[in-house]
């Protein structure tokens, strides 16, 4: 018995020793030989991502690592190393260097790609480890390689072109804006106090779902479902902080039975339901329920859904048009146009009503063009109003 216990202690001590040596060696490498070793910043942040983890997930209030980055800038200057592999730059002139055009290539860091999407394509056999399969199968938001990202972006561009704004998008918006105005007017008449961000979320949800899948989530007409969905969107920033440190969490969670996930978090379960919604919409497209693909939509009409844009794109090879790519990219577009847009609209309303004199100027600008219009103002007119554009650009 004593010999057996001594064996376990021996193996445990050896394992701990190996981990200790590895950890110390890794920290020394990151402080001395790493390509970012010479940059200013906190030594602890340079040694380990657990420093970022502490500020985002342990220290209350959570999610405050951005505040720590600001403190680093005040102490070390405009360029700081915020973790072992990332540099943060607070210099407006650096934008032209980072967001460049032409032949320059910018690759997304692997950790960021794993957090937000598939590394290359969604063919599971291409990946050698179960963990990379989790990334590739379930997360479609991130692309590390510059050229792959360029191809995928080119396929999506018809959904966001000026031609789309002038035509189909504007036509869809008019009906949803009318319903939004009716909701606001009803709230005014009843005197009910409502969270305006929730009202805007109903509007952006139905538009975003119609936009990417051709099927609207009718939250404007269902207050109870809207309340649940609004509560669910609050989980997105929390999940993001966790996934930033542990990219495999969401993918692993989606492999669990839904009742188990719901027992842990109803918010997370409903968020996973949106992945299922995207898969269902992509499946409907596959069996022809959303209409045929009319070719490359950059040269023809506006694509009815994001699925049509991907499947019809000449910029993508066939393996990039697989079913898993369709639903993941659809989910990406849906979520991207959801909470962010409702929050931007909330900021616009808040700051406009906080400055009544500026609000009056914006209203006068709108009235000056509305006086000669008999129907809705077209996008071509609105984009030429300097104050309105200033407001939207500042809020975004």
Query: Over the range 227-260, which residues count as b (16 or more CB within 10 Å of their CB) and which as e?
Result: eebbebbebeebbebebbeebbbbbebbeeeeee
Do the Cβ atoms of 108 and 58 come closer than 8 Å?
Answer: no
Do the Cβ atoms of 87 and 39 come closer than 8 Å?
Answer: yes
Alpha-carbon distances, residue 13 vs 7, 25, 79, 268 (angstroms): 10, 18, 41, 39
List beta partners, residue 79.
89
Task: Identify the DSSP state of 160.
Answer: G
CA angle 207, 249, 133 (to 5 degrees): 90
Give the per-residue pLDDT at 123.
45
Cα separation, 367 vs 376, in Å, equals 12
pLDDT tens series, the chain, 396 aa = 455 556 677 788 888 899 999 999 999 999 999 999 989 999 999 999 999 999 998 888 888 899 999 999 999 999 999 999 999 999 988 888 887 777 778 777 776 766 654 444 454 334 334 444 444 433 445 677 778 888 888 888 887 777 777 776 777 788 888 888 888 898 899 998 989 999 999 888 888 888 778 887 778 778 888 888 888 888 777 777 887 888 777 777 778 888 998 898 888 888 888 888 888 888 988 888 777 777 666 655 667 888 888 888 888 888 888 888 888 888 888 888 888 889 899 999 999 999 999 999 999 998 888 766 556 778 888 888 999 999 988 887
pTM for the complete prediction? 0.78
Do the Cβ atoms of 331 and 275 come closer than 8 Å?
Answer: yes
Cα separation, 149 vs 262, in Å, equals 34
Do the Cβ atoms of 56 and 244 come closer than 8 Å?
Answer: yes
Task: Tell which residue, 60, 161, 251, has the closest CA to residue 261.
Answer: 251
Give the per-residue pLDDT at 175.
81
Residue recorded with tokens 């396929």: 155
CA dihedral defined by 205, 339, 389, 356, rounded to 10 degrees?
100
CB atoms within 10 A of CB 27: 16
Please state the length of the chain: 396
Q: Which helix (H) or strand (E) holds 223?
A: helix 223-233
HSE toward the beta carbon, residue 111, CA cutoff 13 A: 9
Cα separation, 30 vs 49, in Å, equals 12
125: Cβ contacts below 8 Å, ≥ 6 apart: none
Q: Which helix (H) or strand (E) holds 87?
A: strand 86-89
């Amino acid at each position: 018995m004593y010999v057996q216990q001594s064996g376990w202690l021996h193996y445990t001590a050896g394992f701990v020793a190996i981990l200790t040596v590895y950890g110390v060696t890794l920290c020394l490498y990151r402080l001395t030989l790493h390509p970012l070793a010479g940059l200013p910043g906190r030594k602890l942040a340079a040694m380990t991502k657990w420093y970022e983890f502490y500020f985002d997930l342990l220290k209350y209030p959570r999610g405050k690592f951005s505040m720590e980055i600001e403190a680093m800038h005040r102490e070390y200057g405009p360029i700081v190393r915020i973790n072992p592999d990332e540099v943060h730059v607070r210099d407006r002139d650096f934008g032209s260097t980072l967001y460049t055009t032409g032949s320059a290539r910018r690759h997304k860091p692997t950790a960021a790609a794993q957090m937000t999407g598939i590394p290359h394509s969604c063919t599971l056999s291409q990946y050698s480890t179960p963990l990379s399969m989790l990334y590739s199968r379930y997360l479609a938001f991130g692309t590390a390689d510059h050229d792959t990202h360029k191809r995928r972006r080119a396929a999506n561009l018809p959904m966001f072109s000026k031609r789309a704004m002038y035509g189909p998008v504007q036509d869809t918006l008019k009906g949803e804006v009318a319903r939004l105005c009716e909701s606001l007017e009803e709230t005014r008449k009843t005197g009910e106090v409502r969270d305006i961000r929730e009202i805007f979320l109903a509007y952006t949800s139905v538009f975003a779902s119609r936009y990417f899948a051709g099927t609207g989530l009718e939250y404007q007409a269902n207050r109870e479902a809207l309340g649940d969905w609004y509560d669910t969107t609050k989980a997105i920033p929390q999940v993001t902080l966790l996934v930033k440190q542990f990219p495999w969490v969401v993918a692993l969670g989606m492999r669990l039975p839904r009742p188990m996930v719901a027992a842990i978090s109803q918010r997370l379960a409903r968020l996973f339901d949106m992945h299922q919604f995207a898969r269902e919409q992509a499946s409907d497209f596959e069996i022809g329920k959303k209409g045929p693909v009319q070719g490359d939509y950059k040269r023809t009409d506006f694509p009815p859904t994001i699925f049509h844009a991907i499947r019809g794109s000449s910029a993508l090879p066939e393996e990039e048009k697989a079913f898993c790519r369709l639903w993941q990219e659809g989910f990406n577009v849906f979520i991207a146009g959801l909470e962010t847009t409702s929050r931007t609209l909330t900021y616009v309303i808040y700051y406009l009503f906080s400055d009544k004199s500026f609000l009056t100027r914006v209203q006068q600008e709108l009235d000056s063009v509305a006086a000669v219009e008999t129907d809705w103002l077209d996008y071509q007119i609105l984009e030429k109003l300097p104050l309105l554009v200033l407001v939207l650009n500042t809020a975004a």
